[in-house]
Structure 1
Amino acid sequence: MSSKSKPRSRLVADRRYSAKTKTGGGSGGGRGRPPSRSRKTNRKSSARRPRGLVGMILAVPLWFLRVFWSLIWRGSVVVILLVGLAVAYTAATLPPVAELLDGRAKGSVRMLDRYGEVFAWRGEQFGGAITTDTVAPVLTKAIVATEDRRFYNHFGLSPRGIASAISINLREGRGPLSGHGGSTITQQTAKLLCLGRPYDPQVDGSEADYEAECRRSTLVRKINEAIFAMAMEARYSKAEILTIYLNRAFLGAGARGFEAASQRYFGKSASQVDTAEAAMLAGLLVAPTRYAPTNDLKRSRDRASVVLGLMAEQGKISESEARQARANPATLSEAAQARAGGYFADWVMSSGPSFLTRDTTEDVIIRTTFDPRIQTAAEAAMKTIFADKVKEGSEAQAAIVVMSSDGAVRAVVGGRQTKVSGAFNRAVQAQRQTGSAFKPFVYAAALDLGMSPNSTVEDTPLTINIPGSGPWSPKNYDGKYRGRVTLTEALRNSLNTPAVRISEEVGRENVRRTAEMFGIKSDLAAGPALALGASESTLMEMTGAYAGILNGGRSVKPYGLTELRLVGESRSLMDQDGGMGERVISETAARQLTYMMSKVIDGGTGARARLPDREAAGKTGTTQAARDAWFVGFTADYVAGVWMGYDDNTPLTGVTGGGLPAEIWQDAMIRVHEGLPPQPLPMESGGEPVALGGDNDGGYSERQAPSRTQQRRQPNPAQAAERIILDVLGKILGGR
């Protein structure tokens, strides 16, 4: 049995395309393929691309544009990768922050006066490591407001700041990298670190050359600086970067870091500064030397006012706080304001061991003999006399030294400009003829050999035949002669012929040795003019030599350093307590010479130096043609020397040692002795008169001087033995 059913229809997929898409015919109705996507895209591109002549013209530029764009974005990726690698490598090589805080190549020297107070700084001062947590918060606000207001928001570079700086430089006619730099605090810190390259004297030469190289603004260096800055941002926190900056920034007056600057200018720690002081310190960053308050306080305050405005504008402080800070500007500490002792400090630095002073790599503290009150007195005396009695515009100079009888130097004024450092110090460096200020050493030799202040000598015309030069006839300053006079009268009136006669009588070699033992180290004249001060010396040497007369006849070496030690150490590396040395003349001779020199002030050539309330002794000195004028003298408490003249040896007009130098000496000593009770001078006038020989018509000759032994008293046995020993030692050591 068969069953009938409808035939099943074929399974046919739904048509996906319309008949319009079929290609070709054929039995069975062939199905069409979907068009290619690329062909469809190309047809659309072809539809947009200009055809014809315009298309041909634009085809080449468009191709180059596509190639250029491809190179740009691929090159940018490569550059970014290379910069990233450089930043990562640099960041990995950066040391810990603690190793970067003190980058000085040299150490510092801090000088204390005789009372233990700081009065001068030398070298590169570093007050100790500080951090953003230990300084006053207002100080970091002032720094950020002034130097980099976006410091906490950038990655080490400020594109906006760089673009602005380049625009300003071009407008002002400079190169794009010259002048304004647009540097962030991070970039400035990178410069301070010299991009991680430490100072090497063998390679860099001087430290100044090294720092100049670190500040150079070339394109290559700017690129390296940018990489280093970004590496610092990757390696350190913002607080750590700012900490490095706080410790390494130079702020004038030798101060490295804000702690040193705060101590230098305000005498306090950076943790204690107020708003006005913080603004002044931050204002120094733009030009440390120019705006240093010790150079120009008004200029520094004006700059601080600008900083206060920036802080208020950025909301770091309120307007009322800014007004209050402007109304109460920062003031300098007493030590910074005085700027005292510049010449003294320079002298101590030059006289101490270089490896612990001028070239020290350590931080050193030097205790000195300096007395700021006496220094101020000496400076004021010089200013007063020059202001009142010297013609305006005069270029004449002067110098003053004050010391105690043991050689402890209390004050040094090396020139009319007193607030200086590193200047020519006429008190120490100027070798000048001493004139009659040398005569006390002639009389010292005579008194030590037995003469007395009452011994007499001829003041009559004198001629001495000098081999190779012929006859030499010294004359008195006034051209007059007084016949026979005592040694006291001869010194009081600064007579020349008696001084030469005495020098020839006692022997020039004795005079020379006496002066040298008292501390005159210069090359002393060999001829008879030795007695009249034809040799040169410094004011420091002369004042020290006179101190030997005051202390009873012992030699003196002027000194200013009493203790030297390293910062943080309690043990001293150097100590000195007194500068007195061996005996030069007997104490009796020294007391008699003091008496004779007191008469110079009491009615002699030094009358203008007379003090109103106490005894004083001294000696005037005026060289040939008045090129130098001196007054050196002492009281029972202090010895002081004054020199006056021109640096180029121009003769002084109407000035002698008994004139302006004596007046400067008097004014200084009155100020120095304020509050000190009067003390008598150690002097005596005793001794029997002895008449010195010598023919009245001047029959001395270089080879036939009168015997110095015929009319002297015999010294006591102890003096004689001491003299013999000194003579023997002199022959062995000095060849004399």
Structure 2
Amino acid sequence: MDLRAQHRDHAAPRPRRLEKTLDPLIRRTLLLICTLLAPLPAVALPSFDEVRAAYRPSEATLLARDGRPLHSLRVDMQVRRLAWTPLADISPALLRAVIAAEDKRFMEHGGVDWLAAGSAAWSNLRGSRTRGASTLTMQLAGLIEEDGQRRGQRSFLAKIGQSAAALRLERSWSKGRIVEAYLNLVSFRGELQGVAAMSRALFGKWPHGLDDRESAIAAVLLRAPNATPDTVARRACALLTELQRADECRGLEAFTFQALNHNLRDLRPEAPQLAPHLARKLLAEPGRDRRSSLDADLQAFAVDSLRRHLSALSRQNAEDGAVIVIDNASGEILAWVGSSGDLSGAAEVDGATALRQAGSTLKPFLYAQAFERRLLTPASLIDDAPLSLDTGNGLYTPQNYDPGYRGWVSARPALAGSLNIPAVQTLVRVGADSFHQRLKTHGFASLKEDGDWYGYSLALGSADISLLMLANAYRTLANAGKWTPLRAVPARQPAPAPCRQGGCEGVFDGKPHTVDTPAAAFLVADILADRAARAGTFGLESWLTTPYWSAVKTGTSKDMRDNWCVGFSPRYTVGVWVGNASGSPMHDVSGISGAAPVWREVMDRLQRAAHTPPPTAPAGVVGLTIRFEPALEPPRREWFIQGTEQPVVRAAAGQALTRIVYPADGTVIALDPDIPPARQRILLRLSGPMPKGGQWRINDQPLPAGTRERWLPQPGRHRLSLHDGRGTLVDSNRFEVRALRGKPR
């Protein structure tokens, strides 16, 4: 029985037919069957090649840009099928067992075993219940039958239809192809369909390695897929005995029980499983592979880098992370790592699309807007001093990440060193609503409320954004302020959006548009690339300091729940998020210690093959050597938008640093009637030292001597002012004191 030879030459001579040896009674019975078959229409049956082409595994595979497999994902949840298995890759032991169990005269009949059919018909006429006479070819005809509703039917007419189809199949298909197609389409147990899924799931091996014992178990499952392990073992032993392999029955019950109840055995695909989150977004049709824009080697490197650094931070309660790498010119995503895998308690959550607090990563867009509107230059001095702002619902008092204040500081080190107070001061100038609209134009579609809702905290990243949105916004800065959508497939292919909701909203859709002017984008990029400017916060040597040109910014959200590191070279943008999908805070993990090491490793690898020069100043930007009076900062060469250049930057007088911190302008203070008035004195606070000879005034009346900074409040509207020793007004605020009625005594 050489099925492989039959497979190679499907026109091989047929074996001698058994119907010539049938007794007269059976011949008369079969004549009746043939008479019934005659009027049936001849439904066209597909060819072997058509059946194989229509076969669809339950999985689909995400491919890298060069065609290498990245991730296989089960898409069809109704059935479990692996790739088609050629006959040459099926164990001869399994072929013997299946033919012995299902169709002993398979090699001799022409599609219908007339002897078995006649015997079965005669037994049925006598009222005896016998085993069915369906051949492998008849079963295959049922499997490939176009009308799926008729599969598995055992009616007399259904058998006749299958017999007719089997006769036609045998005239055009070889025996080898019939067996090959049958073993790939037949169901073995539960959801397992096809020899590959059965072999991998039950025995943990590919079909070519099945031995006699395993083959017997598989063969008896064909007739009773859901039989109990004891029944399967008993029938398999009987089949082994028939095949003269009775010695394999020893220990068969335990072996069968283990095979049929090994629920933990995984049908692991051959793909390396590197991009589960993008695979779930792009793979939708069983058996249809999709080519992505991901670089296979870079994806593997980013996965490894993230996992290694998160392992080192495990004691600091950091278990999740995400990495996005984008080609600046094309917008193609080269790496998409959504989680740390088994290091995470929520590995299914895609950290690249999850909405998290932005921290300080939005500051570059704020300064770009201020530069563009000529409200600031990189050399403009901003007061880094205690600040309280009235929000209508109370006071907003931002704090720097590091304790202490620097006084007058220029915008360059304020942005590069991520100082919070200067950023809020800049937002006051730009306006929260105006900045909110600019962020929306940058692609932050997750900012659903208006600017007043976010308020001054928008400068420090209180809004929820996704890593995808953030990385593409930084790519916009790298592209001279021009925003374009991202792509998850190569540029030469149609670009379906892998997702459109949540953190994907607007990222893959939208028309290209200019957000920042090239001049403003250049100034911000130059600041973010300035190692000296960030040295006051991060030191001269840190994970952000690269031997090539790169612009980078870190961010840490409240309570260290999220930290970010996003930056770009002239050719690539890399974004990294580190945190916990659960939202629990990390312990002493900031952007520089959490996300920055991963960012640096990935960027270093990208730059090995990228020799791109630093960006040059666009039209409308001029360079100038500047100095400060007094020398608050060393002289340096600075960039300006043409028309805003200033060779000498003079700081205001020392007393100009002093401002009224509390009560802030617009504050409403409510007195508690249950607290003695003397214990409700208000502490008047300044952002700096009291000017020499300085004096507090309430409603233009000096405070009584000895009051110092503690004033006994009186109901009503008041104006608090600060004057220097010459009586000159330094600062003033208006506030209100309200008296509440006490309880009756």
* TM over 0.5, shorter chain: yes
Q: Give the aligned partner of residue 501 of structure 1.
A: 425
User: Which residue identity does 2:284 align to in structure 1?
Assistant: R
Distance 1:694 1:503 in 2: 19
Deviation sequence 1:666-690 (CA, Å, 0-9, x none): 2222233334336435578412467
Structure 1 position 214, deviation (Å): 7.2
Q: Give the aligned partner of residue 178 of structure 2.
A: 241
- Cα distance, 1:487–1:85 mapped onto 2, change above 3 Å: farther
Alignment partner of 1:153 is 2:105: yes
User: Which residue identity does 1:242 align to in structure 2?
Assistant: V
The structure in which a higher percent of residues are strand is 2
Distance 1:494 1:513 in 2: 22
**Do the aligned partners of 2:63 and 2:292 also contact (CA within 8 Å) in 1?**
yes
Q: What does residue range 300-311 of structure 1 map to in structure 2 within 5 Å?
A: 300=205, 304-307=208-211
Deviation sequence 1:557-586 (CA, Å, 0-9, x none): 2212334479xxxxxxxxx99998222112
Q: Give the aligned partner of residue 463 of structure 1.
A: 388
Structure 1 position 549, deviation (Å): 0.9
Deviation sequence 1:462-503 (CA, Å, 0-9, x none): 111112x12211111223221111112222222211111101
- Cα distance, 1:647–1:250 mapped onto 2, change above 3 Å: farther
User: Which residue identity does 2:147 align to in structure 1?
Assistant: R
Alignment partner of 1:197 is 2:147: yes
**Do the aligned partners of 1:145 and 1:307 also contact (CA within 8 Å) in 2?**
no
Kindly report the root-mean-square deviation, in angstroms, between the aligned alpha carbons of the 2 structures. Answer: 5.1
Deviation sequence 1:529-566 (CA, Å, 0-9, x none): 11111111111110010111111111132212334479
Q: What does residue range 265-284 of structure 1 map to in structure 2 within 5 Å?
A: 282=195, 284=196
603, 608, 613: which one aligns with 2:547? 613
- Cα distance, 1:411–1:223 mapped onto 2, change above 3 Å: farther
Distance 1:119 1:498 in 2: 45
Q: Tell me the TM-score normalized by structure 1.
A: 0.57
Secondary structure of 1:560's aligned partner: coil
- Cα distance, 1:221–1:670 mapped onto 2, change above 3 Å: farther
542, 557, 562: which one aligns with 1:623? 557
Q: Give the aligned partner of residue 471 of structure 2.
A: 543
- Cα distance, 1:701–1:359 mapped onto 2, change above 3 Å: farther
Structure 1 position 650, deviation (Å): 0.9
Distance 2:544 2:391 in 1: 39
**Do the aligned partners of 2:199 and 2:210 also contact (CA within 8 Å) in 1?**
no
**Do the aligned partners of 2:310 and 2:320 also contact (CA within 8 Å) in 1?**
no
- Cα distance, 1:136–1:385 mapped onto 2, change above 3 Å: same
In the comparison of the two structures, how many residue pairs are matched? 504
- Cα distance, 1:229–1:587 mapped onto 2, change above 3 Å: same
Distance 1:476 1:102 in 2: 64
Q: Give the aligned partner of residue 487 of structure 2.
A: 559
Larger Rg: 1
Deviation sequence 1:281-329 (CA, Å, 0-9, x none): x5x24155677xxxxxxx436x7533499799999xxxxxxxxxxxxxx
278, 284, 288: which one aligns with 1:344? 278
Structure 1 position 610, deviation (Å): 2.9
- Cα distance, 1:700–1:490 mapped onto 2, change above 3 Å: farther
User: Which residue identity does 1:697 align to in structure 2?
Assistant: I
**Do the aligned partners of 1:611 and 1:670 also contact (CA within 8 Å) in 2?**
no
Q: Give the aligned partner of residue 69 of structure 1.
A: none
Distance 2:39 2:538 in 1: 76
Gaps of 5+ in 2: 1-24, 78-82, 114-131, 217-239, 245-268, 496-506, 618-622, 624-637, 668-745
424, 439, 442: which one aligns with 1:518? 442
45, 49, 55: which one aligns with 1:96? 45
Secondary structure of 1:387's aligned partner: helix
User: Which residue identity does 2:554 align to in structure 1?
Assistant: T
569, 587, 603: which one aligns with 2:518? 587
315, 321, 327: which one aligns with 1:404? 327
Q: Give the aligned partner of residue 476 of structure 1.
A: 400
The structure in which a higher percent of residues are helix is 1
Alignment partner of 1:533 is 2:456: no
Distance 1:694 1:581 in 2: 44
Gaps of 5+ in 1: 1-75, 159-180, 200-212, 258-281, 292-298, 316-334, 350-356, 567-575, 703-736
- Cα distance, 1:652–1:146 mapped onto 2, change above 3 Å: farther
**Do the aligned partners of 1:192 and 1:248 also contact (CA within 8 Å) in 2?**
yes
- Cα distance, 1:369–1:512 mapped onto 2, change above 3 Å: same
Q: Tell me the TM-score normalized by structure 2.
A: 0.56
Structure 1 position 85, deviation (Å): 8.7
Distance 1:548 1:433 in 2: 20
Q: Give the aligned partner of residue 584 of structure 2.
A: 650
- Cα distance, 1:290–1:443 mapped onto 2, change above 3 Å: farther
Structure 1 position 359, deviation (Å): 6.1
Distance 1:532 1:446 in 2: 15
Q: What does residue range 47-126 of structure 1 map to in structure 2 within 5 Å?
A: 88=37, 95-98=44-47, 100-101=51-52, 113-115=64-66, 119=70
**Do the aligned partners of 1:518 and 1:554 also contact (CA within 8 Å) in 2?**
no
User: Which residue identity does 1:513 align to in structure 2?
Assistant: Q
Q: Give the aligned partner of residue 144 of structure 1.
A: 95
- Cα distance, 1:515–1:88 mapped onto 2, change above 3 Å: same
Secondary structure of 2:584's aligned partner: coil
Q: Give the aligned partner of residue 639 of structure 2.
A: 686
Structure 1 position 102, deviation (Å): 5.2
Deviation sequence 1:116-155 (CA, Å, 0-9, x none): 5565567679xxxx999xx564548576246445656247
Structure 1 position 391, deviation (Å): 3.2
Distance 1:395 1:186 in 2: 59
Q: Give the aligned partner of residue 689 of structure 2.
A: none
Deviation sequence 1:227-274 (CA, Å, 0-9, x none): 77656544432456335436646999x9998xxxxxxxxxxxxxxxxx
Structure 1 position 109, deviation (Å): 7.0
Distance 1:105 1:419 in 2: 33
Secondary structure of 1:686's aligned partner: strand
Distance 1:630 1:565 in 2: 32
Secondary structure of 2:512's aligned partner: strand
**Do the aligned partners of 2:380 and 2:411 also contact (CA within 8 Å) in 1?**
yes
Deviation sequence 1:201-226 (CA, Å, 0-9, x none): xxxxxxxxxxxx979xxxx7799997
**Do the aligned partners of 1:94 and 1:235 also contact (CA within 8 Å) in 2?**
no
Distance 2:154 2:386 in 1: 80
- Cα distance, 1:612–1:395 mapped onto 2, change above 3 Å: closer
- Cα distance, 1:118–1:505 mapped onto 2, change above 3 Å: same
Instruction: Select between 484-493 and 595-604 the one with higher mean Cα deviation.
Output: 595-604
Instruction: Select between 637-646 and 86-95 the one with higher mean Cα deviation.
Output: 86-95
Distance 1:618 1:248 in 2: 55
- Cα distance, 1:225–1:417 mapped onto 2, change above 3 Å: farther
**Do the aligned partners of 2:59 and 2:76 also contact (CA within 8 Å) in 1?**
yes
Deviation sequence 1:439-460 (CA, Å, 0-9, x none): 1111121121122222121111
**Do the aligned partners of 2:89 and 2:208 also contact (CA within 8 Å) in 1?**
no
Distance 1:579 1:286 in 2: 47
**Do the aligned partners of 1:190 and 1:196 also contact (CA within 8 Å) in 2?**
no
User: Which residue identity does 1:595 align to in structure 2?
Assistant: D
- Cα distance, 1:106–1:214 mapped onto 2, change above 3 Å: same
Secondary structure of 1:399's aligned partner: strand
Alignment partner of 1:453 is 2:378: yes
Distance 1:188 1:701 in 2: 85
**Do the aligned partners of 1:627 and 1:651 also contact (CA within 8 Å) in 2?**
yes
659, 663, 666: which one aligns with 1:696? 659
Deviation sequence 1:402-459 (CA, Å, 0-9, x none): 0122322111000112899x97352443111111112111112112112222212111
Secondary structure of 2:323's aligned partner: strand
Structure 1 position 589, deviation (Å): 1.3
- Cα distance, 1:110–1:137 mapped onto 2, change above 3 Å: closer
User: Which residue identity does 2:586 align to in structure 1?
Assistant: L
**Do the aligned partners of 2:355 and 2:465 also contact (CA within 8 Å) in 1?**
yes
**Do the aligned partners of 2:94 and 2:212 also contact (CA within 8 Å) in 1?**
no
Distance 1:653 1:389 in 2: 9
